[in-house]
Amino acid sequence: MYHALYRKYRPSDFDSVVGQDAIIKTLKNSIKNHNFSHAYMFFGPRGTGKTTVSKIFARNVNCLSPVDGIACQKCEACQVSFSHDCIDIIEIDAASNNGVNEIRELRNNVNLVPSSLHYKVYIVDEVHMLSDAAFNALLKTLEEPPEHIIFILATTDPQKVPETIISRCQCFSFKRISNEMIRKRLEYVCKEEKIKIEDSVLDRIAVMSDGGLRDALGLLDKMVSYTNDKITLEDFNEVNGILSDDDLYQFISHVINGYIQEVLSDISNFNNSGKNLIQIMIQLADFVRNMIVDSYLSHKECSFDLDFLQEFENQLNDKMFDIKKSSNTKVFIEMFLLKFINDIILHHSVHNVVVEKNNSLDVPVKTSSVVPKDTLSQKESIESKSDLNNNDFSDKSDDVVSESGLNNNDFSEKNEDVVSESNLNNNDFSNFVPKVLNLSEIMDVRINNTMATADKNLLKLELNNFDLLRDYSFDQEIGYLVNSILDSKIRAVGPDYLIISYDSDASVEQNLAQLFKLNEVYSSITNSNKKLAIVSDDKWDQIRNEYIENLKNKVKYELKEEPEVILEEIKNDDIISSSAISLFGKDIVEIE
């Protein structure tokens, strides 16, 4: 009778187990030193060896003369434990025996001494499937087990097991097996079975098995059944309903370029040809991830915008669970891709996105310059406003600019050629903002006034405003300011004030330097007139603790009037020099 490869090559001793060296060493030493526990819990992903190691441990612990923690396989106990009709090693499937009656029966049987071996070993597989009543029935037995009993609980979902059970077990976490180890094991099996297979197929099987050796052997077994000839990568893609790298490249190019018709056509073709759409999305996530990593680590040239690739990867990973559980996978994937293209690609105006020719395929070169009207109007409204908050800052800043004899309009008219050649705009010049001397005092007042009027309901509403900012995270003009705000955490909100915090003092200092710009962008996008207060996470902890203490002592915060902005005086020459250096570089500008 034919045996599946994963059964035929299941390890029968500790030395044959792959990828769990630390666990194997610990178990061998416990047998060698005779200090093993009465209850163990093995947890980890499927196919990593939990049940196999449980059976090996049950045999080895009963060996009369183990050698370095490994069963001799010669003594009478080994002969019994390795036989198929051994009644002292009991394997229970908790998925189908999860009721309280089964566990009560187990409790009655544990008092019976082993018939042939020194220890009676119960292996409870998928223990997380037990009912609450069954766990309660098992708990008493785990607390005070007979000396001749050893429990081994195996599960892929340890968070569903009660803490009272886990605390009474010696726990071992089985990790995913590396692709290299899986590949070596597959090579060994292919050599033993005389299977002809391409190296690229072994690599693809190792990746698709996701760290589970049993799954890898199952995939290999399926390919052996498919063909008696040499197994090729084309055979593997055909059997498993997945795409080649060329097809994946073509598909992602359609997505990133915003070719909606081509994307929908691709999905329909994949579905009509019997491809596994879920597996294609998993493949696509791995493919995009490899492109991003290669670009950063190997400096490999990428044909696509990395920001869009990273955003696509993040959104795809977020939706992967929903894709797998969707009742209509095709429709869900189509809607997901359309929303991504509309929200990210078209909404943010991708100009001249050119896909380079791949050696093995011919990708059409197209450009996209679609910008929704709403986006243009919002962007223009933000750009038309001053970079500084008019309520707090405009009078002082106007005086400084008029003294220097420069303003944005004069500068753009006199240096139109330079600006266009250097890809600069008015916002570049406005980056030179005079230093605010009393910024610390302003922050103290804003913090005080926020805490005086803080409201939890306003906090919830403000979290929704943050979502509005995400639409501008890729904007060429204000994207860096929007991302600076998104990097923060909302801490407290009042009708007129908002406290945000950053994890480091350096981030706080950097964003305080552009406080009024951040405030202007935030107000323009969210239609909020709240003034920002920026603190570090540590500072916020102090503010919160002080607030709690004041509440206990019934000390009320009094609203304070925000002081006028005091600016550092800057000479005309300083502004001109700074602007010139910014435009032409310090190597070209000579300052007398």
Which DSSP string corresponds to 406-435?
Answer: --HHHHHHHTHHHHHHTT--HHHHTT--PP
- What is the pLDDT at residue 445? 92
Q: How far apart are CA 415 and CA 11, in angstroms?
A: 76
Find, among 207, 206, 276, 216, the residue nearest to 240 by Cα. Answer: 276
How many CB atoms within 10 Å of residue 271?
Answer: 16
* 533 CB-contact burial (10 Å; exposed 0-12 / middle 13-18 / buried 19+): buried
Sequence-distant (≥ 6) Cβ neighbours of residue 441 within 8 angstroms: 563
| Contact between residue 43 and residue 50 where contact means Cβ atoms under 8 Å apart | yes
- Supply the mean pLDDT for the chain: 78
For the segment 431-452, what is each residue's pLDDT rounded down to a tens digit?
Answer: 445 678 888 899 999 999 999 9
Which DSSP string corresponds to 446-502?
Answer: HHHHHHHH--HHHHHHHHHHHHHHGGGTT-TTTHHHHHHHHTSEEEEE-SSEEEEEE
- What is the pLDDT at residue 534? 94
Buried-state track 67-101, b at ≥16 Cβ within 10 A, e below 16: eebbbeeeeebbebbeeeebebbeebebeebbebe
List the chain residues with pLDDT less than 50: 349-432, 575-577, 579-592
Q: What is the dihedral of CA 116, 119, 125, 127, to 10 degrees?
A: 140
Domains of the chain with bracketed CATH: 5-173 (3.40.50.300), 179-240 (1.10.8.60), 245-346 (1.20.272.10), 439-552 (3.30.300)
- What is the pLDDT at residue 536? 92
**CA 464-470-474 angle, 5° bins:** 170
- What is the pLDDT at residue 335? 92
| Contact between residue 522 and residue 555 where contact means Cβ atoms under 8 Å apart | no
Buried-state track 136-164, b at ≥16 Cβ within 10 A, e below 16: ebbeebbeebeebbbbbbbbbebeebeee
- What is the pLDDT at residue 406? 32
Query: How long, in residues, is the chain?
Result: 592
Kindly state the DSSP code that residue 67 receives in the 8-state scheme. B
Task: Please tell me the pTM assigned to this model.
Answer: 0.54
- What is the pLDDT at residue 434? 63
